[in-house]
Each structure stands twice: as structure tokens, then as C-alpha cells.
Structure 1
Amino acid sequence: MDTLEISGIRAYGYTGALPEENALGQWYEVDVTLWIDLALAGQTDQLADTYDYAQIIQAAQRLIETEKFSLIERLAAAIADKALGSDCRIEQVRVRATKLSPPVPHFSGQVAVEIVRQRAAMLG
């Protein structure tokens, strides 16, 4: 199966278990990989025969900016659900959601979760 990879989706949001994360917010970065058959698009060179990746970019940014989840895992799952629900040709999705500056004392790194969801699991 072919893949379409979208990386570096950034938005400012309010996901977090701590009250200050919900009040002050922070930057998130999301990478999405979609498993979708791209053979027809490779032949026709038509946007209608592929997945318009602007859809998932905008959906992910909207979720980050407007929804308040306690866990980054829930944010990643919501993005995966949006991707799978947006086009029946998508068989599988991987979402990596990164909290760019988590409010942990004496920690200047990043925290990320990566989930994989399949269409078959949604149906069964």
C-alpha cells in the first residue's frame, strides 16, 4: 500500500492535564501518515484521484486550536478519527502528536505520542 506523509502541522492549543495547560496553552506539532492507494493518481495526475491533504492539515489545526483534551493521546486519536472519516480510501493512519514545550520543571525537551489506527478496526 502507498503512503502519503504530512509532517510539521503546527498549531497552538489547550490540551493538557494541568490547569495551566488548559488556560495558557502551548504549541503542538503533528505528523500524519495515510495508507491509501495512489496508483490511479500516479496515472491521471488529477487531484480527484488522490487525497487532498489540505483536509487533514486544516482538520488537525482546528482540533488543536478549538478542542480541550486532558491527554495528548486523545488529541492524536481525534486526528486519526478525522482522517479515517474523511475518505473511505484511507486504510490506515499513523498520527504523531508532539507537545513542543510541556510544563515539566527542569525539562526542555518534547513529549510525543504515536498511534496507528486502521479502517477495519473502526468497522469491526
Structure 2
Amino acid sequence: MDNIKINGIKTYAYHGALEAERVLGQYFITDIVMYLDLTEASGTDDLNATVHYGEAYQLVEAVIRSEPVNLIEHLAEKVSRTLFDRYDRILEMDITITKPSPPIDGSYENVSITLNRKRDN
């Protein structure tokens, strides 16, 4: 299936289960893959036949900056609902949210979750 990707949306926000995360905040990196049929857009050069990725970026950033939540799993679910609500053309999506510096003692690059969601018929 065709897809549109928006990679590496870096947003400072205050999500997390620990008090320090909600007080100090941290960066969240969001990657989105939106699956849709791009046949019409590729043939007609019509922006209305696709997802405006600049607008989608702004929606994702607004969700990440919104009211704090405990879990990045829940945050990713909010992102998927927002994009499905706005764009009927999206059939499926993958949302990955990465915490580059979570408060975990140890040696690692980051932690992340990925949700795969399909449009309910």
C-alpha cells in the first residue's frame, strides 16, 4: 500500500508517569507512517487527493504538546485518533513515539513504542 511518512517530529512536552517528567519535561520524537491509496494524487497532482503532510505535522505536534499523560502508548493513541478524524483517506497508520532520555538508570540509546492502527469501518 502507498504511504506518507513524517519522521523525527521533535517536540518538548511534559508526559510521563514520574513527577519529575511532568515538572522538567523532555523531548519526544514521533514518527508517523500513514497508509493510503495515492493513485489519484499521483495521477492528478491534486493536493485534495492526498494528506497534506504539513497540516498533519501540525496536528501531531499539537497532540504531543497537549495535556500531559502518563504513558506514551496513550499519547500515540491520541495521535492516531486525531489523524483518522481529520483524514478520511488514511486507512492504516504506524505511530512510533520515542523518549530519547527517559529517567532510567543504565546505558541505552532510547525507549520507544509503536502502535499500528487500522481505520474502523
Normalised by the size of structure 2, how large is the TM-score? 0.94
Q: Which residue of 1 aligns with 2:75?
A: 75
C-alpha distance in 1, partners of 2:78/2:54? 17
Alpha-carbon RMSD across the aligned residues, in angstroms, is 1.2
Q: How many residues align?
A: 121
Letter in 1 for 2:10: R
- Structure 2 residues without counterparts, runs of 5 or longer: none
The aligned counterpart of 1:92 is 92
Find the aligned partners of 2:10 and 2:26 in 1 and give their Cα distance. Answer: 11
Q: Tell me the equivalent position of 1:106.
A: 106
1:55-88 alpha-carbon deviations (Å, 9 max, x no partner):
2211111121222000010011111111111111
Deviation at 1:106, TM superposition (A): 3.0
Please list every run of 5 or more consecutive structure 1 residues that lacks an aligned counterpart in the other structure.
none
**TM-score (normalised: structure 1):** 0.91
SS at match of 1:10: strand
User: Could you tell me which residue of structure 2 aligns to residue 5 of structure 1?
Assistant: 5
Does the Cα contact within 8 Å between 1:101 and 1:108 map onto a contact in 2? no
In structure 2, distance between residues paired with 1:108 and 1:14: 21
Amino acid at match of 2:92: Q
Between the aligned residues of both structures, percent identity stands at 34
Structure 1 residue 23 displacement after superposition: 0.6
1:5 partner SS? strand
Instruction: Judge conservation of contact 1:15–1:21 (CA < 8 Å) in 2.
Output: yes
Match of 1:22 in 2: 22
| TM-fit CA distance, 1:93 | 1.0
CA displacement 1:68-117 (0-9 Å, x = unmatched): 00001001111111111111111111100001110112345211000011
